[in-house]
Amino acid sequence: MSSLTLTLILQTAVLAGGEKSYTDARSETTETGKPMAVLVSAQWCGPCQKMKKTVIPEIEKRGLLDDVTFAVVYVDRERTLAKKLIGNGAVPQLFMFRKTSTGWQRKKLVGGQTVNTVERFITRGVEADRSEVGS
């Protein structure tokens, strides 16, 4: 099997079966205490599709999604939820939700991002969560 074929299979698996609903991810976050990462995306959005087809699969391959619960919210399918998350903002947006001693903390990245930017974003959120839990 060629590496290209394997990459395509991995990407298809991540995109097709690896996505949790926001509700499922939120439940898992509440149960496990893991931070939650949420990508707000649209089918018609070029940068969104790049994030879903190249950036997120690479993040998954690097093992970074093991430390968070991950969900995708599609603005066309989940308008009310997307509106609550991004208001009238642009897509894509990537959120990191962490439960802290003072309540939920939310960080976000707006627009298409590189693998390295998303990696730093998730790593910082996970590290902050671990230091909060450890203190």
pLDDT of residue 17: 46
Q: Is it the case that residue 24 has pLDDT exceeding 70?
A: yes
**Token pair belonging to 31:** 């149960």
Task: Tell the burial category of 117 from Cβ atoms under 10 Å away from its Cβ (0-12, 13-18, 19+).
Answer: middle
Domain count, the chain: 1
Indicate whether this model's pTM tops 0.95.
no
Which residue range is the domain that position 104 belongs to?
3-134
Q: What is the pLDDT of residues 79-126, one digit of tens each?
A: 999 999 999 999 999 999 998 889 889 999 999 999 999 999 999 999
pLDDT of residue 9: 38
| Residue 111 main-chain phi, psi, to 5 deg | 95, 170
What is the residue-wise DSSP string for 33-95? ---EEEEEE-TT-HHHHHIIIIIHHHHHHTTGGGGSEEEEEETTT-HHHHHHHHTT--S-EEE
Q: What residues does 72 pair with on adjacent strands?
A: 39
CATH code of 38's domain: 3.40.30.10
